[in-house]
A and B are shown apart, each in its own frame.
Chain A
Amino acid sequence: MGKKITLTIDDRQVTAFEGEKLLWVALENDIYIPHLCAIKEEERPSASCRLCFVEVEGFSHPVTACTQEVYAGMIVKTRSPRVDRLVKSAFELLLSDHRLECAKCPKNRSCELQKIAKERKLKLRLTRLKPLEKEYAIDESMGSFVFDPSRCVLCGRCVYVDHQEVEVGAIGFTHRGLQRKVTTFGGGLLADSPCTGCGRCVEVCPVGALFFTDKAG
């Protein structure tokens, strides 16, 4: 770990170690930055959700906090008209591809999308865009949990724990472009895959794409 440095986030002085990523420094200091795909342990962030934009003084345009390393004397603003606009658009784009039925969703009130909407005062409905049709089959084969791909935001947290933490390799990203999704190898049911049912992927899912059937379990 690098040496200890001081930086300023939203007019607050915070200390961190050189080389740490800005997103985690901010979150550890209770400064909220919206994020879905970031995984602290991941050496090279995927930077795919495009929600953690911030302004860094001296930079010509907003940068993603998950990829930006902190440095001594860095001055960061987590909000600006440009940042707010990017977050609003990225958020609405994600919603347009997410089955929006919060009342029926098991993650209602514990959903990261709801948290982002609340923190940034964003609407949980589409204002400019039309919903994209996405009808994927729901996988209930595991019994203890359910995978509903039409709620998936492609953050990749489940894939990360499956590959790097429990090292099972039951799921991964497949297909390209608009068809990109998380599936088992060959696209079959989870029950027919190497999945051990450990449930780690369900624990890290920020939305209602993966959820336990028995809430107590």
Chain B
Amino acid sequence: MKVITAVERYTELKTKAQEKVNSLQDKPLVRIGTATCGLAAGALQVKETFEEEIKNKGLDVRIQEVGCMGHCYAEPLAIISKPGFPSFCYGKVDEGLAKLLVDSFLENDDPCYEYAMVALEPNDIFPTFTDFPRDAYEKKIILEHCGFIDPGDIEHYIAHEGYAALAKALEEMKPEEIISEMTASGLRGRGGAGFPVGKKWSLCKDTPDEVKYIICNADEGDPGAFMDRNVLESNPHQVIEGMLISAYTVGAEKGYIYIRNEYPLAIQRIETALEQAREIGLLGDSIFGSPFNFDLEIFEGSGAFVCGEESALVSSMEGKMGIPQARPPYMAVSGFRGRPTVLNNVKTFAYVPTIIRKGADYFKSVGTSDSSGTAVFTLVGKVANTGLVEVPMGTTLRQLIFDIGEGIPAEKEFKAVQIGGPSGGCLPETKLDIPIDFDSLAEAGAIMGSGGLVVLDEDDCMVAIARYFLEFTQQESCGKCTFCRLGTKHMLDILTRITQGKGEMADLEILQELAEDIKMGSLCNLGKTAPNPILTTLRYFRDEYEAHILEGRCPACMCKDLILYYIVPEKCSKLCNVCVGSCPVEAIYTREDGLKAIDQEKCVKCDNCLKTCPPEHDAVIKLSPPVLPED
């Protein structure tokens, strides 16, 4: 009897999936980005409008939900594919535009070029993504299909080579060969620390035990970071396939996706993905007819930031307090329930299928020698194009912020970039030309972290920013070890005093010493990295600390205790009353000469008057130190 191989089984699945996906092209298709970023911008209402209008007009059009393609600044996004036209993508779609598009494009043949953002396929009439400045720098490996395929349908993934790597691994590769491939690829863990994946898997594989586990860390918690969420919402099967390959390699039969319960949509999409994978035999017993069994479960975290630390994560899964433990033993030797465990980040698993399918050499050809492949960043803060970007390692911060992100909005000056989340560092303009890779960033005092990148401009006070991030880590400290529990609190108190103008120069020395000791002495990486925002701001922006302490001045006019609001009489107009109405505490009064002034006793520094003063007057200013000009 002929044995059906894994690859043959896969080919059958793929043929069927491709037929289905191709058949979608026979009539017009509207794809709407409904990852969390899209939903927040109103994608559901847009979808409803499309549905309603299409129904009213009796058109035969398919509507499909897709994930996020990374252009979060332009959400809600809709892609319309109509036979005879290239696919057009429209940004900032609202109900009005949705109606117009149904009217003009779907019912008639006018693609409304004035509203189109980009065409997807090469054509003679309209620019495509390759014409975007960011395309020159972007290289999509894990984001390739995000935003274009339906994350709720496994066949969309299969039609795009999905699960081909698993079939190949099961049929053609021994676990040792997969490990050599992973090692040769140079893939380093994308959770932040950059530990070589081949080494981790090999350690787990070589630890003898009947039961082993695979855990995907999706407990993404950095403020301003959302790439793991988007990957899971936009292409969950990619991560599942990576976990399957990892399980086959180390000999595990059970896996968990540890995801924070604040990500309901991602959880829902993973649930659907797991169900569909089980239905066609990609999870469960004898996968692809091989002797390999594996199943996956979701474990919902309860929102403690420290549970992103692997030993705390595992503790919380075991029903204990989410508190880190001293290592060794390492996870790969003794992890979940004391068994050998591979614990990797969402993105790390997401790279695995591509590496197995295209080979280590392909992955190694992207990026730098010590950090191969791409880096996925969420670009947020004071940058024109916020969103999700994937660039080869070695791209500079300047390219990322100014070419891909298109710089700082509102003609403001760039001041710093906070990279690596609250555990990362703030790098100044002079460090913008360093290449993004694990080691260069560490050298500059920041970390790759999970890939959050917050751009700061001239209006951001670096002391207040350091304080903001430290407040986050201080509140998220589990409290187990002395340095983190008490050290972060003392640093926070010192920073608070400085932002209130009550700091002393000696505080800076204490701050520096404490930060260095906490970095060296803490038990886990939350504590070890918590001082980074302070160490980098002290290193690169010491002048701002000194201005607060010596002059009682906040250079960015951000620290409320060090500023006052003032209406410049020369600019104020007697004919205008806007600021008076905007003041919530009636601090603004009309002087005898008809001009406005602020009662400093009453003022709560809410910023309303400055925002509402019409640009033709622009009469409200902030003064720091808070001293009124003499008449």
A residues contacting B by CB (< 8 A) are 44-51, 53, 61-62, 64, 67, 82, 85-86, 89-90, 93-94, 96-97, 128-130, 132, 154, 173, 175-180
Per-residue CB proximity of B486-527 to A under 8 Å, as 1/0? 110110010000000000000000100110010011110000
B interface vs A, CB < 8 Å? 304, 321, 325-326, 474-483, 485-487, 489-490, 493, 510, 513-514, 517, 520-523
A175, B479: Cβ atoms under 8 Å? yes
Tell whether, in the assembled complex, residue B489 and residue A132 are in contact, meaning their CB atoms are under 8 Å apart. yes
Chain A contact surface mostly: loop
* B244 nearest CB across to chain A (Å): 31
- A47 touching B481, Cβ below 8 Å: yes
CB distance from A66 to the nearest CB of B (A): 8
> Given A90, A96, A128, A175, which contacts B521 in the complex, CB threshold below 8 Å?
A90
Contact partners of A67 in chain B: CB under 8 A = 326
From A51, A64, A90, A132, contact of B326 by CB (8 A): A64
Given contacts A45-B326, A177-B474, A177-B475, contact A89 B481 (CB under 8 A): no
Which residues of A have CB within 8 Å of B304? 176
Contact A130 B493 (CB under 8 A): yes
- The answer, among A46, A93, A94, A96, for a CB contact under 8 Å with B480, is A46
Tell me whether A44 and B325 are in contact in the complex, defined as CB-CB below 8 angstroms, given that A50-B483, A180-B478 are known contacts: yes
Given A45-B326, A173-B321: 18 more A-B contacts, CB < 8 Å = A48-B481, A50-B483, A50-B521, A64-B326, A93-B486, A128-B510, A128-B514, A130-B490, A132-B486, A132-B489, A154-B485, A175-B479, A176-B304, A177-B474, A177-B476, A177-B478, A177-B479, A178-B485
Task: Decide if the interface of chain B is mainly helix, strand, loop or mixed.
Answer: helix
Q: Cα distance A47–B522 when bound, in Å?
A: 10
Chain A residue numbers with a CB within 8 Å of B493 are 130
User: Which 5 A-B pairs give the minimum distances between C-beta atoms?
Assistant: A180-B479, A47-B326, A93-B486, A89-B517, A177-B479
Q: Shortest distance in angstroms between B302's beta carbon and chain A's nearest beta carbon?
A: 11
Q: Is the CB of B489 within 8 A of A178?
A: yes
**Which residues of chain A are near B474, meaning CB under 8 Å?**
177-178
Q: A94, B486: Cβ atoms under 8 Å? A: yes
Q: Once the chains bind, are B483 and A93 in contact (CB under 8 Å)?
A: yes
Pick the residue among B321, B482, B489 that contacts A90 (CB under 8 A).
Answer: B482
* B517 & A86 in contact (Cβ 8 Å cutoff): yes
Q: How far is the CB of B541 from chain A (nearest CB, A)?
A: 23
Q: Within the complex, what minimum Cβ distance (angstroms) separates B387 from chain A?
A: 33
Q: Are B479 and A89 in contact (CB under 8 A)?
A: no
Given contacts A89-B514, A96-B490, A130-B493, contact A178 B520 (CB under 8 A): no
- CA gap between A62 and B485 in the complex, in Å: 20
B292 → chain A closest CB, angstroms: 33
- Tell whether, in the assembled complex, residue B483 and residue A61 are in contact, meaning their CB atoms are under 8 Å apart: no
A-chain residues with CB within 8 Å of residue B483 when the two chains form the complex? 50, 89-90, 93
Known: A89-B517, A128-B510. A94 touches B482 (CB 8 A): yes
> Do B477 and A93 touch across chains, with their CB atoms under 8 A apart?
no
